[in-house]
Chain A
């Protein structure tokens, strides 16, 4: 079943196409990866799905559970169950870790904040009294971002470069929570150009210059990293893919 459908999506910046007639289906309950070189349009795609400022004027359509979300604001999309892990999370002076984690889980108790921190390997007693500010390391900040996503229980999580700027311990916790989110019923889309991250997906899309050039099972997609586009073995190749049912049964 398609949770998200991207239909003929084009987005221009300064007259230049960043996304170019892009179509893809995101199946519910799977971990998808969107891979491609720097500047391919991966983050632009995530920002456009989330509806961030500067990414709302596009051609085509984005359907969530069969309904267009194009007219919806960021918070309206979030309340439908879509959220985004930013590549470089914002820091908030004075805002408590607990308050931040529970921001997307209205009415939730402190126990959920503690559970969410534990999920990402951070000791609640050590972090709940701190602020989401510059005193946190990049890895801590990213794990707290993930804790807030865990507390939100989203339907669809877009993760933009989830491993960027984090140490090896943090990366392992990030990989673990990707799996746990999937097991809890969330659909995950990983935006990455890291083969390590790609290993945690079960299906991938390769985009280049804002265009979908290939999609399919993971094993096929590692060719991209092996070849590093030189020579490109994907562009011009027919898109060969399996369906969600086949992948699930495999």
Chain B
């Protein structure tokens, strides 16, 4: 929290804690709140271990879901910075041990950002027969002012399942450099989804990649992006199938309005004749048939366009 007096910092943290405490989590719901480089609040449940270490500009977090445990409720993470400038670096090492199952929900909030960097470096291991569903929602202020750089490497072991959803619909995106890569072993599954609404001069670069390395592995990479004003986006989806009976699909849809610009680069590669990978990409204005259907119900063009975009990003 640079450029702040200690009194200002204390007041800000007090406000933040009060805000966090408004969320009435039941005792059996795990939650961790991290502001800047401080863990403000933490509640854990049986089978979940979270250890943290404060860095100069962020936090290093080690997360374990112990072998055979199924966490009944999602684990809530809250990351954020209240001031209008600063850096938050989050380094995480997550292991979902063999046969364990968990759902994580991360809310990242930068409501006043003018010059904020949120740097996430994550490694995730989903061990044999385990599963993790990770949902990350960003809420930004209207000014953009945020640079988001989430870099995530995932290893999904045999019979494991991993799904991730990245959502940034409220507020201006700012600059996003998202890079997710997954290594998928035999009969394991990866499902990555990104939903972003870019506005003003937002710059968005998404790279989602999955290597279907094991026999019977499956992967779906989905990117749904809506852009307006002068926002730009480049979406790179890469799916490589090396093993027999690997199955994959890449789906990239981008709606472009005003002076926004979009580029999609789907790469699909099959190195085994028994594997099968498909892709679809569509970039352009709102689909005319969808638009005319809603117009014929009496919606204005703006109302109809908003409804179609909301649907795409829902």
Task: Please report A residues at the B interface, Cβ cutoff 8 Å.
Answer: 50, 52-53, 73-75, 77-79, 82-84, 86, 89-96, 99, 103-104, 106, 131-132, 148, 152
A92 touches B311 (CB 8 A): yes
If the complex has contacts A95-B308, A99-B307, A131-B311, are A90 and B295 also in contact, measured as CB distance less than 8 A? no
B52 within 8 A of A: no
If the complex has contacts A90-B287, A90-B289, A99-B307, are A78 and B296 also in contact, measured as CB distance less than 8 A? yes
B301 touches A75 (CB 8 A): yes
Main secondary structure of the interface of B (DSSP, over half): helix
Residues of chain A with a CB closer than 8 A to B299's CB: 75, 78, 103-104
A75 touches B308 (CB 8 A): no
Main secondary structure of the interface of A (DSSP, over half): mixed
A148 and chain B: residue at smallest CB distance: B297
| Chain B, interface residues (CB within 8 Å), range | 20 to 34
A77 to B298: give the CA distance in the assembly, Å.
Answer: 8
A94 touches B314 (CB 8 A): yes
A95 to B308: give the CA distance in the assembly, Å.
Answer: 7
If the complex has contacts A93-B311, A95-B311, A95-B314, are A53 and B288 also in contact, measured as CB distance less than 8 A? yes
A94 to B193: give the CA distance in the assembly, Å.
Answer: 13
Residues of chain B with a CB closer than 8 A to A104's CB: 297-299
Residues of chain B with a CB closer than 8 A to A106's CB: 298
Residues of chain B with a CB closer than 8 A to A78's CB: 295-299
B272 within 8 A of A: no
B314 touches A75 (CB 8 A): no
A90 touches B290 (CB 8 A): yes
Write 23 A-B pairs (CB below 8 A) sorted by A numbering: A50-B296, A52-B292, A75-B298, A75-B299, A78-B297, A79-B298, A83-B296, A84-B296, A86-B293, A90-B287, A90-B292, A92-B290, A92-B308, A94-B313, A95-B308, A95-B310, A95-B311, A99-B311, A103-B297, A103-B298, A103-B299, A148-B297, A152-B297
